[in-house]
Amino acid sequence: MSLRFLGKDPFSKGDGSPTLYEDGDTYVFQGWKVFDLNTLVALGQLPEWETVIRFPKRMMMFFPEVGHVQSRVPELAAP
């Protein structure tokens, strides 16, 4: 798997910032794992091989379909 860094939440603090990667036809997210019981119940039964994460809406700018943030905010480029 060859991941391409797309963006990291510029407003998160610490080492575990939500991060978005692209891998061909799919996206790979690093985000906050959902433990809230109400949210998990609302989603229903998840297959054993899936998990649910949260990431801030402000990260939508990193999706290529929305726009190329690197061209607008160079300081947010990959480390």
Q: Buried b / exposed e across 39-48, counting CB within 10 Å, b at 16+? A: eeeeeeeeee
Of the pLDDT bands very low, low, confident and very high (cuts 50, 70, 90), residue 1 is low
The structure's pTM equals 0.69
Question: Helix (H, G, I), strand (E, B), or coil: what is residue 41?
Answer: helix
Chain segment 44-62, per-residue pLDDT in tens: 999 999 999 988 888 888 8
pLDDT of residue 38: 96
Of the listed ranges 10-19, 21-30, 31-40, 60-69, the one predicted with least confidence: 60-69
